[in-house]
Amino acid sequence: MKINFVNKTKENIIEYKKLIRDIFKFDKSKDIMNIIFVNDKEIQDINKNYRNIDRVTDVISFALNDEKDFLIKTEEIGDIFIDIDQAKRQAIEYGHSLNRELGFLSVHGYLHLHGYDHMNKEDEEIMFKKQDEILNNANLRRD
């Protein structure tokens, strides 16, 4: 897996990039995903424009290929927007490290790009089990 990073914040993301690359080193595919770090205002604008929800959120994923029988084959699977401001607040709220929170948000977005969802209880259990497995393998267990 190749990960492209875009930083639309004033944060230094060098450590975040290393963390996320380490999490996904298990994925030996030729897939390409983009992780875009944004602030509260930008993610609220995205959430409002694309989901019709006018509030800040932590992560939004846009899969390039949502259709199972999509005719164009590409290695790029989509974009994950992560709000660093919100991630920092959630890390404090949940009592764990920012690395754990950024790891969680990255994995959550990655799984959405791979077709996982949590719209019903059964799908949520499947997705969250996979999510925990990836995070545990990256030594980002819940405290």
- The answer to whether residue 143 sits within a structural domain is no
What range does the domain containing 95 cover? Answer: 2-137
Grade residue 8 by pLDDT with cuts at 50, 70 and 90: very high
- The answer to whether residue 129 sits within a structural domain is yes
Could you give the number of structural domains in the chain? 1
- The answer to whether residue 76 sits within a structural domain is yes
User: What pLDDT shows up at residue 7?
Assistant: 98
Q: To the nearest whole number, what is the mean pLDDT of the chain?
A: 93
* Model confidence at 71: pLDDT above 60: no
Bridge partners, 37 (sequence order) = 7, 82
46-70 pLDDT, tens digit each: 999 999 999 999 999 999 875 554 5
* Model confidence at 109: pLDDT above 90: yes
User: What pLDDT shows up at residue 120?
Assistant: 93
- The answer to whether residue 66 sits within a structural domain is yes
- The answer to whether residue 11 sits within a structural domain is yes
- The answer to whether residue 142 sits within a structural domain is no
CA atoms within 13 A on the CB side of 84: 16
Task: Describe the strand order of the beta sheet including 32-38 as a list of residue ranges.
Answer: 2-7, 32-38, 76-83, 59-63
In sequence order, the 6+-apart residues with CB closer than 8 A to the CB of 52 are none
What is the rounded CA–CA span in Å between residue 19 and residue 38?
17
- The answer to whether residue 47 sits within a structural domain is yes
- The answer to whether residue 51 sits within a structural domain is yes
* CATH number for 41: 3.40.390.30
What is the rounded CA–CA span in Å between residue 7 and residue 142?
27
What is the rounded CA–CA span in Å between residue 44 and residue 61?
14
